Structure 1
Amino acid sequence: MTPQLMQAIKLLQLSNMDLLSYVDSELERNPLLESSEAQDSAANELDDRAEIAASPAAESADWLTTDGAPSGESVNNALDTEIDNVFPEDGPTERGTELDAGALAGESWSGGGSSSGEDYNLEAFVAGELSLHDHLSEQLVLAVADPILRLIGQDLIDAVDEAGYLRIEADQVAERLGVSVDVIEQVVSILQSFEPAGICARNLAECLALQLKEKNRFDPAMAALLDNIELLARRDLPQLRRLCKVDDEDLTEMIHEILALNPKPGNAFGHTVVQPVVPDVIVTPASDGGWTVELNSETLPRVLVNQSYYAAVSKTARDDTEKAYLSECLQTANWLVKSLDQRARTILKVSSEIVRQQDAFLTYGVEYLRPLNLRMVAEVIGMHESTVSRVTSNKYMATSRGIFELKYFFTSSIASSEGGDAHSAESVRHKIKQMIDAEDPNDILSDDAIVKALKDSGVDIARRTVAKYREAMRIASSVQRRRQKQAMLA
């Protein structure tokens, strides 16, 4: 496997931002590469790239095909389970010793820093400020196992402002994602349990209330004070005393406690500008009732090989060293453009199949998410699972229901009790949540009753699986729910 082939494969898993950064570095390093300002359509641009990148070696073989082999089967086999030993940055390995040592050291076109230490950058070792967005996302991964709730949680985290407030309406999110408002509120409650206290509140009163609850100081008097916090701003203390039903001493103590709280908990984190997610693929409804899938042209690097400059400079080459350098620049430039073209085509092919498989989700909502795995997509589009895995990493799709990472569409499956299509685990969790939300306080559903109801609706599931899903959604057992609901009715 050549260094160029490995680099082309590596380009697949780069995010659009990382790809642009990489291409910029190549533009600086390679004098034969130049940025294209053409505004052609995406299809014409891809065709132009393929023509420019064409060379005697490239025209006769696909980029996933090794020299002299009729197909990419040998490469697919190598990429299946030993991919960790393929990429240069993984360092020398038993498998890596067979590769070009210069490429592994970053001395060839494949980039990376110079092994001589000339590009040694101390700033690379300085820890950056932790952003509020990253801080909440890290807690979300630990607190929520359900992919659906995690997806909703990430959507809500994206709407949190610098001060730490959640600036979005629950009903809007529920309508866009196709779930109930209760599910959104459930996820909001989980987010509000994160550190720092007071985070993800919808308003100032709720932010202060969350912090008081953390300190175990939220009582009816405090609740009344926060419900009338505008009176505190106007210093209408007599009215506050009457509403809170406390004396002067207690009211003074309560006000001091309020003033000691942090009205903007998000300000404790880095104030670096959060870059919005830029989708790689855009999905829009088609006139025939289907979906139109297209690449986001804004994320596609536009680079060309300056053949004229190469022809002019090569004539003035003084010795074999200069000729070899120009030849290498031309080869790597052609290969980069070819690899970018193939990367775009591969992303579009994988995304189109995902949209075809998840049509019901896009149409009706999260409850209709189908079970899907890498093998199912790979078999349809004729690629290896490892290739599909790279394409779905750090790539985002913009749909009418929001922006999602491609990997979120891959879910486990649960068999149908009637021999029909399998059900995705996420849709089954959603069904369980709906059943429990709608249960009669006098007739609480046990896990066995849920299993029976699901089997009656065509879902073949074990009792222990129901219990696992229920616990992952932080839903109490039937005994605990019965006590809670009876206490509420009392």
Structure 2
Amino acid sequence: MRTGMSLGQTQTLQQSLVMTPALQQAIKLLQLSRLELEEQIETELLENPVLEAEPAGSTDEWDEVPAQVSEGEKEINDFENYLNSYGENFSEGASYEIPDDEYETPIKNRESFTAMLLGQLGLMKIGEEQRGAAYILVNNLDEDGYLRVPLEELASEHYPVALLEEVLVEVVQNLEPLGVGSRSIKEFLLVQLENMSHRELTAPYDVVRGIIEKFLEEMDKKGLKKITRVLKCTEEEALEAIALIRDMEPVPAQGYVDDENSTVIPDVYYVKDKDGQFLVLTNDDGLPRLNVNHSYIQLAKSAPDKESYAYIERKYQAAKWFIKSIEQRQKTILRVAQSILKFQGEFFHRGPMYLKGLNLREVADDIGVHESTVSRVTTSKYAHTPYGIYELKFFFGSGIKGGSLSVDVLKHRLREIIEGENPQKPLSDEKLVSMLAAEGFDVARRTVAKYRADLGIPTASARKNKL
């Protein structure tokens, strides 16, 4: 096994890669969702006569192509170099088929937005009363993921307004996607703010919150002076806060819209073998087997003129590149999914409560690709697990952001910091976030508040009042 590249080797390799249209297309394929990939394949089949969909079991005849036509092989190698320019080459994963009788019930390939939320609720350790209230709330969300129906209209003898309010804020709005069930854009933005880590919070917290609460309709030049005056901040701080707010998601269900054209199809399955060990299987159902049209290969050999030959060669190279790019895409998704299984084994064996903190670099280092590749692969790609269907990035979004530090470690350090504070000037949650960030704990203010409460430690103002 070869060792990872040195910095100089990596830089030389990266400098030698030319970002051709074909390479750009291959990188784009990594980013596509399953449905988008199917659409792209259909487009390519229509536009390239050399590319065709073959029935399973067919074989190609690459070796029969004239030598000149193989010049495009360099671009294919470039794509492999692009993926692997950050560490060791990855090996190809084994191919498996899911037996029809493997499960007591069929695996559902499609899951609606609502069903996805209900699936998460089914795994949460909450009381039956809370679970029932959560089901009511989720089933009344609109297509954007907002709760537009007043709680008073949903309330009943068994589910009073107070209970619905508590469950909405503490349970539903903490589902994936974060903030689902918000009753207004203001509430949704505040949920996002409260869950931002120190690294993500690129503007003063108080200024951002103040603008969301009071000046959402005045985030322009005319309202800038008023914002700085009322919130007692500088113009630069106000502009930073406005920029941060504009970068936030406006719709909770963005990318999860529950309609005929937006369904969740798993890209991979996590299944157990006979020994109880998990395997990762790629889902190729619905994807046509692509090949080159052999009649065009023969036609290239007897092309009557250079123009005809050049056209066939160009289309042939495009077809071969497209096929190779899809193969590479599937292999990369498999490798990332296998790495997730390696790091998140407890999740698969014991359930969502055992999800650990994980970042892109750890997986990138593990499989020998760049972080950007892992980022592309985990966006809009879904995994079917024993506990429901999750976007691959879900496995990076829980736990303590920025690393694999356990909750116990964070709580222990949080207690130490508070015990060492000046009793006359107790540390606010925001200050605790900053101090923890300096030590490598990239956590949200809301997380600190929750863990502080779990430790039985009151707020800063309450601690000061005890003196």
TM-score (norm 1): 0.48
Map 1:252-263 → 2, pairs under 5 A: none
Task: Work out whether residues 281 and 293 of structure 1, in 8 Å CA contact, stay in contact via their aligned partners in 2.
Answer: yes
Please give the alpha-carbon distance, in whole angstroms, between the structure 1 residues aligned to 2:157 and 2:62.
57
Verify: 1:159 aligned to 2:137, yes or no.
no
Give the match for residue 384 of structure 1. 370
Deviates more, 1:53-62 or 1:321-330: 53-62
2:330 paired with 1:344: yes
Aligned ranges for residues 425-464 of structure 1 at < 5 Å? Answer: none
Task: Output the CA distance in 1 between the equivalents of 2:131 and 2:284.
Answer: 33
The aligned counterpart of 1:300 is 287
1:31 corresponds to which residue?
Answer: 49
Written as runs of structure 1 = structure 2, the 5 A alignment for 1:208-227 is none
Q: Which amino acid aligns with 1:304?
A: N
Q: Helix, strand or coil: the match of 1:397?
A: strand
The one-character-per-residue Cα deviations of 1:5-58 (angstroms, maximum 9, x if unpaired) are 1211111111111111111111111111111221x5xxxx9x979999997446
Q: Give the residue type in structure 1 aligned to 2:126.
A: S
Aligned residue for 1:4? Answer: 22
* Structure 1 residue corresponding to 2:297, chosen from 300, 305, 310: 310
2:332–2:377: 8 Å Cα contact kept in structure 1? yes
Q: 1:325 and 1:73, CA in 2 relative to 1: closer, same or farther beyond 3 A?
A: closer
| DSSP-derived class of the 2:31 partner | coil
- Asked if 1:468 corresponds to 2:455, the answer is no
Q: CA shift at 1:60, angstroms? A: 7.0
One-letter amino acid of the structure 2 residue matched with residue 311 of structure 1: Q
Amino acid at match of 2:50: L
SS of alignment partner, residue 266 of structure 2: coil
Go from structure 1 to structure 2 and tell me whether the alpha carbon gap of 1:209 and 1:51 turns closer, same or farther (over 3 Å shift).
farther
Q: Distance in 2 between matches of 1:204 and 1:65?
A: 57
Q: Decide whether the 8 Å contact of 2:112 with 2:263 is kept in 1.
A: no
Tell me the distance in 1 between the aligned counterparts of 2:84 and 2:323: 24
Corresponding letter in the other structure for 1:387: T
Task: Give, in whole Å, the separation in 1 of the partners of 2:61 and 2:394.
Answer: 31
Which of 125, 139, 158 is equivalent to 1:179? 125
CA contact (8 A) 1:283 1:399 kept: yes
Take 2:388 and 2:85, find their aligned partners in 1: how far apart are those partners? 36
Q: Secondary structure at the match of 1:12?
A: helix
Which residue does the alignment assign to 1:291? 278
Residue type of the partner of 2:383? M
The alpha carbon displacement at 1:323 in A equals 2.5
Contact 2:113/2:258 (<8 A) preserved: no
The alignment status of 1:13 with 2:35, answered yes or no, reads no
CA shift, 1:411, in A, is 3.9
Q: Is the 8 A contact 2:112 2:264 kept in 1?
A: no
After TM superposition, give the deviation of residue 157 of structure 1 in Å.
4.7
Q: Is 1:410 aligned to 2:366, yes or no? A: no
The alignment partner of 2:285 has SS state of helix
What's the CA shift for 1:377? 0.8
Cα-Cα RMSD:
5.0
Contact 2:355-2:398 within 8 A present in 1 as well: no
> Taking every aligned residue pair, what percent have the same amino acid on both sides?
33
Secondary structure of the residue aligned to 1:283 is: strand
Partner in structure 2 of residue 254 of structure 1: none
- Letter aligned with residue 23 of structure 2: L
Rounded Cα–Cα distance in structure 2 between residues aligned with 1:188 and 1:406: 25
Q: Return the alpha-carbon distance in structure 1 between the equivalents of residues 62 and 148 of structure 2.
A: 51
Residue 282 of structure 1 and its aligned partner are, at CA, apart by 0.7
Q: Is the 8 A contact 2:76 2:324 kept in 1?
A: no
Determine if the alignment matches structure 1 residue 195 to structure 2 residue 195: no
TM-score, reference length from structure 2: 0.50
> For structure 1, which runs of at least 5 residues remain unmatched after alignment?
78-154, 161-165, 215-269, 416-420, 433-446, 453-461, 481-490
Secondary structure, aligned partner of 1:159: helix
Aligned to 2:40: 22
CA distance in 1, matches of 2:312, 2:355: 52
Structure 2: segments with no counterpart, 5+ residues: 1-17, 88-110, 166-256, 420-430, 437-442, 460-467
1:423 correspondence with 2:405? yes
Higher-Rg structure is: 1
Cα distance in 2 for partners of 1:11, 1:320 equals: 32
Measured in 1, the distance between the counterparts of 2:418 and 2:261 equals 44
**CA 449–4 in structure 1, closer or farther in 2 if over 3 Å, else same:** closer
Structure 1 residue identity aligned to 2:298: A
Q: Quick one: higher RCO (CA 8 Å, sep 6+), 1 or 2?
A: 2
CA contact (8 A) 2:266 2:389 kept: yes
In structure 1, distance between residues paired with 2:24 and 2:42: 19
Aligned residues: 296
Greater mean deviation of Cα atoms: 382-391 or 400-409:
382-391
Q: Deviations over 1:61-107 (max 9, x none)?
A: 864458xxxx5489669xxxxxxxxxxxxxxxxxxxxxxxxxxxxxx
Q: Indicate conservation of the 8 Å contact 2:83/2:369, yes or no.
A: no
Residue 338 of structure 1: CA displacement? Answer: 1.0
The structural deviation recorded for 1:309 is 3.2
What letter is aligned with 2:21?
A: P
Are the structure 2 counterparts of residues 332 and 411 from structure 1 closer, same or farther at C-alpha, using a change threshold of 3 Å?
A: same
